[in-house]
Amino acid sequence: MADVAIMGQGYVGLPLAYEASKVGTQVLGFDISQGIVDALNSGTSHIDDLSDEDIRSMVDAGYQATCDAGRLAEASTIVICVPTPLSEDGGPDLGPINAAVHTVSEHLRSGQTVILESTTYPGTTDEVVRPVLEQGGLVAGKDFHLAFSPERIDPGNEKFGAKNTPKVVGGHTPACADAAAAFYGSFVDTVVRAKGTREAETAKLLENTYRHINIALVNEMARFCHDLGIDLWDVIAAAKTKPFGFQAFYPGPGVGGHCIPIDPNYLSHSVRSKLGYPFRFVELAQEINATMPAYIVQRVYDLLNEDCKPLRGSTVLLLGVTYKPNIADQRESPAVPLAQQLIAKGADVRFFDPKVLEWSAVPEARRVDSVETAVTEADLTILVQNHRSFDVDALALKAQRFFDTRGVAADGDKVQRL
């Protein structure tokens, strides 16, 4: 028997399993990948935030990983932590959620609590998940509990994790919320009760839409500040000294990860499909952030032109190709469209990332063995992601041209900032 079965043992589900197992909860980790299951049962981690030692401690505490969906019936609580990507038309792809929910419905028993954590559009828990779970005759709020609790995992964040990040919970009924809150309250420091599932679903979308829009704001400011000869990084440093009414956001080569480029689109799609009008802030922010790689390419063209070099045939070195610093996660990394557009214009693109040994998303880009040698050979080096292992100032001094998209390099004749 298990206290909880967590469906999806990735960046969201596995840290949740880890924290639950630490307080003695008997955790069953369900995943459709036999390779992941075998690795976890042998004590091997596949995500940045947990080490092999962490996984071994889970196993020692009774954690088991499995591909056997029949074992879901053993658990008192089932938490769904599957991916929610975008479809080809930019709308939400509920395929993974639908597959997971149908699997749960085949093994659902009276008295269980089912919690959806996967980010999605408002109404999904009630309109998509509940009808499938009730097909067998059990009724949500009466025979089983149903709730939504948005995942708030920030991969690579050394300060906030699954335990000390407040957990928002919205139930189909108050009793459903009570059951979900009691589960999370056993290992999460703070549980926040939302009015219902729709409010909990929308809270997650608001959080990431807020970031998405503010990142777009500074990305657009980066463009005109460059044209006006204004140092935006100095502007931000000055503005953030105000102790109220301002939160610093920073420009970059685009947005990446499993949340910011995706979640606001779920909200925008929901508004358009249900209400018939656009969520203009989100769509404008998406347009600005999505065009940042192209803007970087134009800046590269201009910088090489100053050195009397064409972009075609020039060697461009990308430093850091993950979506955020100090982790190996490459999901939706803006380095991908940046490299692809440079290659399309004839550049010889090379890369170095201490976290990435093989960049399957851009096979045409060759990984260099020595970053120190590569920066001296490249016609232009771009700091795309600032991993802590990079000695940025030393690399900038060795480079022929150094384009800093993260605002961390010291001023110099060969250094240009976004």
Q: Would you place residue 262 in the very low, low, confident or very high pLDDT band (cuts 50, 70, 90)?
A: confident
308 is catalytic: no
Q: Would you place residue 261 in the very low, low, confident or very high pLDDT band (cuts 50, 70, 90)?
A: low
Mean pLDDT taken over the chain: 94
- As given in the structure block, the two tokens for residue 281 are 């802030």
Buried (b) or exposed (e) across 348-383, using 16+ Cβ within 10 A? bbbbbbebbeebebbeebeebeebeebbeebbbbbb
Instruction: Write down the pLDDT at residue 79.
Output: 98
d(CA 246, CA 182): 36
For the segment 40-89, what is each residue's pLDDT rounded down to a tens digit? Answer: 999 999 998 999 999 999 999 999 999 999 999 999 999 999 988 877 76
Of 130-139, 235-244, 262-271, minimum mean pLDDT range: 262-271
Instruction: Write down the pLDDT at residue 266.
Output: 74
Query: With DSSP H G I counted as helix, E B as strand and the rest as coil, what are the percentages for the chain, rounded to 5?
Result: 40, 15, 45
Amino acid at 21: S
CB atoms within 10 A of CB 301: 18
Q: Would you place residue 260 in the very low, low, confident or very high pLDDT band (cuts 50, 70, 90)?
A: low
Which one of 67, 81, 259, 308 is the catalytic residue? 259
All structural domains of the chain, each given as residue ranges with its CATH number in brackets, are: 2-197 (3.40.50.720), 218-417 (3.40.50.720)
Residue 194 has pLDDT above 90, yes or no: yes
d(CA 21, CA 67): 19
What mean pLDDT is predicted for residues 376-381?
98
Stated pTM of the model:
0.90
Q: Would you place residue 406 in the very low, low, confident or very high pLDDT band (cuts 50, 70, 90)?
A: very high
End-to-end CA distance of the chain: 55
